Chain A
Amino acid sequence: MSEKVLRILVAKPGLDGHDRGAKIIARALRDAGFEVIYTGLHQTPEMIAETAVQEDVDCVGLSILSGAHMTLFPRVVDLLAAKGAGDVPVFGGGIVPDEDIGELKTLGVKEIFTPGASTKQIVDWIRQNIQPRA
């Protein structure tokens, strides 16, 4: 019996144009056997949530280096819930100070990968924590 391949949305919210990390993650996840949809840059939280629903993804990864994560990450979480996709886990990475990680998790972000995290760590975390959407 074959397992459903996980579909992962990798997204760049806000005006931040630093996409080196997001592209590396997207490629690493593809190499690890996941289906990856990359949104490209300059996505509003609305656009990301809409794409997540349209593409019927199993989780959403957000990358942000511009310091706007406290506004934009929770906004994505809330919009997914509003669209009936509140069961879709959201994780993220970029420049997120340790002090902010606790609050983001309280607001519904499942995990934050900080500078220095390896692609293996992220792939392993997804394999251990993300299931196909029911």
Chain B
Amino acid sequence: MASGGNHRGINQPQDGLFDIRLIVNGVPRTARVPSRRLLSDCLRHDLRLTGTHVGCEHGVCGACTVLLDGVAVRSCLMLAVTADGARITTVEGLTGPDGTLSPVQQAFADCHGLQCGFCTPGFLTTITAALHDNPEPSPEEARDIIGGNLCRCTGYQNIVKAVLRAAELRSAGPGRADGS
């Protein structure tokens, strides 16, 4: 019956919890989670990485975006058990080991790309991945990059500027952590 059974590839302890392994920001982590635990909640509650924010919890706002094996995804639309074995980069992982801001983070500071900051982690991760794929976006492409993220403060103009500024910083200075 619908009990989960003993299927290969995942351990299921008797109490219905799953042991998962993740590499989060370069650090191997483990967690014991119920099947319904969202990756966003696993990061925030189980692993205490509260930089990933949860806004709408149905994929609309983009605040919870993280990098899954380098690809930007909504962590609220993924089960933690599905992510078992993956390499995750959260906003905490964008900053260099010495605290140096990544090009995207520096650009947000330079361009005043945030106000309350709630949506910012999702913008930073989304833009980081997008610039990895397209290092020199046009202003129009910069708008497309952030089209799936909501910000209720800035009016977006400074975030568009920050995307373009981040591309400049990125091409000027290599060697910064960009999660990719």
Q: Do A and B bind each other?
A: no
Binding site for B on A (CB under 8 A): none
Interface residues of B (CB under 8 A from A): none
